[in-house]
Structure 1
Amino acid sequence: MWLPSYATPSERITRTLVVLFAALVLVFLIAPLFVVVPLSFSDDPFFTFPVPRYSLRWYRDFFGNERWISGVVNSSITAVLTTILATILGTTAALGLAREEFPWRRLAMALLISPMIIPIVIVAVGAYLFFGRLGLTNTRTGLVLAHTALAVPFVVITVTATLTTYDTNLTRAARSLGASPTSSFFRVTLPAILPGVISGAIFAFATSFDEVVVALFLTGAEQRTLPVQMFSGIRDQINPTIMAAATLLLALSVTLFLTLAWLSRRAQRTA
């Protein structure tokens, strides 16, 4: 919020300096990410900055290479399936945790968000050993289940935050008017918490689409995702096509961020 009109000059100067400092810190943090954008348009087969000549050479190589397109398709399918499962499970868990009579609420919450705290390498090794006994390694099913475990905490947190402002009397009113639990959820509760559910789904999609460590352990040649393909390209032979792939991922991340910002503003207006 901006300062009111009656704010003193010193308060206005202080706020201006704080905003300026925050902007500089933000630029410092994100500027290295955007260096890949001009490099992706370079015609040079080596990483040269400043860019000597601009070209779409590496984008043509990206879209004309079956391995890169296969990685995009595999990442998209895995991310969509993960988003569906994580959204359903995370929303259900958040609704259960929101009940006052739910026993051991803090312990259950800690267990649900533990995949966010445990190092990703430990999660990957554990998933590999567990799914190996079930015959789910080198399968899309195993990757989706592992990514769902990583994405559920984001859905739980966002939906739980939305439920803190939800008036449970609306659900009670719907039930008193004869609505079934299912009907009251889909007609009353879900529309009210929908911004949080969508935000959690976006986080789940981004988590799955960008994840590489677990995918390295669980995928085979046919299930190789885009981040795994990028990692393999860096390890085997550095190719500027990776910069084109990184730019596309950056564009996807910016789109998801803007969507989240729009949902947040909409939720504040409807609150």
Structure 2
Amino acid sequence: MTQNIPLIGVIGGMALGAVAAFAIVKIAKSRRISQFGMVALGLIVGYLQARISGAIIGAIFGWVFTWFVFWLATGKYRRRLPSYATPGQVLWHHTFVVICWAIFIFLITPIIVVMPLSFNAENFFTFTPAMLNFDPAGYSLKHYEDFFTNSDWQGAIKNSFAIAPVATLLSVSLGTLAAIGLSQPFVPFRRAIMAILISPMIMPLIISAAGMYFFYSRVGLQGTYLGVVLAHAALGIPFVIITVTATLVGFDHSLTRASASLGANPVKTFFRVQMPLILPGVIAGGLFAFITSFDEVVVVLFVGSAGQKTLPWQMFTGLREQISPTILAVATILVVLSILMLTTLEMLRRRSERLRGISPG
């Protein structure tokens, strides 16, 4: 019974908040005044319950409840829906939106939680009372300092940046050529070849890693830098093939024929005509290949050696052996880098659509 007390408290608090929001709206009649009153009430109640962190959560809940009440009272819930939509359709529309937001929050919350934990002044993987109270003494950059000064972490980051760019270059070169070749209508067994080339992305990673281990041990590449680079390139090629193939779908092949009719050889046609138009897809595939190589840990455990210990390998070791909170700082840095790369991918996608005339410039 005691385990249900927090849940009952949350439900009761939400119910009381809704009642208070409706009451303030009826009395104040103004959205701005009502929101100010509910935010103030949430601040006071939250501070009494859990100090600063509770005050922040209470203020957010107060603002949300007041917005929701006015959203219902003013009929804005039908603003973006057709006038002929039935109440059931309106309810389903907003239910679907809530489900989508719930899934988004479920997926993004573990990533968001890691970021403030990386500033923990203690060697814990949980929020301390000082952090929850926003006490400056509860926050520190020592885990970031350990990452930038510890020889093990610096060696791992150097290995990652020594392996990932080379593997990406191989993936982009081979994947782009394969995609261009498979886009030609006269190539026999195109679908079968495509299925074989993208199979490393579909195959369970542990099976690919085991197969690479047995193959590389026979040819003398197991435990070498070249072996790790080739293994990561094999994992990145499918991403390049898929992105470049998607870019070639809207490519006008009459441009290459026009270039050939003007005397340009195939190599010059590729670099002067075809490459500028498919470049966004090539770069996007290269970014995917780089992320795949940089974040990969299973294959490098099989085909690598202590001399090729990458950053994910070091993070895995930190979790298994020494439980180092520096992992949180590294994870935060990787999240920031991933966000920057995803932003770059979105910009490249929009540029590609403008070049192909899909969206207005």
TM-score clears 0.5: yes
After the TM superposition, list the runs of 4 or more consecutive aligned residues in structure 1 that deviate by more than 3 angstroms: 5-21
Structure 1 residues 8 and 76, CA gap change in structure 2 (3 angstroms): farther
Q: Identify which of 86, 92, 107 aligns with 1:29.
A: 107
Matched, 1:8 2:93: no
Give 1:6 deviation, angstroms.
9.7
What amino acid maps onto 2:124 in structure 1? Answer: F
What is the deviation of 1:35?
1.2
| Cα contact 2:213–2:303 (8 A) shared by 1 | yes
Q: Structure 1: any 5+ residue segments left out of the alignment?
A: none
State the 1:21 CA deviation.
Answer: 3.9
DSSP-derived class of the 2:306 partner: coil
Separation in structure 2 between the aligned mates of residue 223 and residue 119 of structure 1, nearest angstrom? 23
Which protein is bigger by CA-based radius of gyration? 2
Letter of the structure 2 residue corresponding to residue 89 of structure 1: L
Deviation at 1:24, TM superposition (A): 3.1
TM normalised by structure 1 equals: 0.93
Q: For 1:259 and 1:18, how far apart are their aligned partners in 2?
A: 30
Per-residue displacement from partner, 1:6-58 (whole Å, max 9, x unpaired)? 94374996766655543332122111122111111001112122563110010
2:126 counterpart letter in structure 1? T
Aligned-pair CA distance for 1:161: 0.5
Matches within 5 A, 1:11-160: 18-50=96-128, 52=130, 53-160=138-245
**Cα distance, 1:243 vs structure 2:** 0.7
- Structure 1 residue 193: deviation in Å? 0.6
Q: Specify whether residues 6 and 118 from structure 1 end up closer, same or farther in structure 2 by C-alpha distance, changes over 3 A only.
A: closer
Alpha-carbon shift at residue 136 of structure 1 (Å)? 1.3
**Among 267, 276, 282, which residue is 1:182 paired with?**
267
Q: Is the 8 A contact 2:175 2:237 kept in 1?
A: yes
Residues 88-130 of structure 1: per-residue CA shift (max 9 Å, x gap): 0000000110000000001000000100111101111111111
* Distance (whole Å) between structure 2 residues aligned to residue 265 and residue 117 of structure 1: 28
Are the structure 2 counterparts of residues 173 and 15 from structure 1 closer, same or farther at C-alpha, using a change threshold of 3 Å?
farther
Which of 189, 192, 210 lines up with 2:277 in the alignment?
192
SS of the residue 2:185 aligns to = coil
- Read off the aligned partner of 1:8 and give its amino acid letter: S
Distance in 2 between the 1:111 and 1:225 partners? 28
**SS state of the match for residue 196, structure 1?**
helix
- Identity over the aligned pairs, expressed in percent? 51
Between Structure 1 and Structure 2, the one with more helix by share is 2
Corresponding residue pairs, total: 268
* Coordinate RMSD, CA, aligned: 1.9
CA distance in 2, matches of 1:173, 1:187: 12
Q: How much has 1:217 moved relative to structure 2?
A: 1.0
The answer for the alignment partner of 2:350 in structure 1 is 265
SS of 2:309 mapped into structure 1: coil
**Scaled by the length of structure 2, what TM-score is found?**
0.71
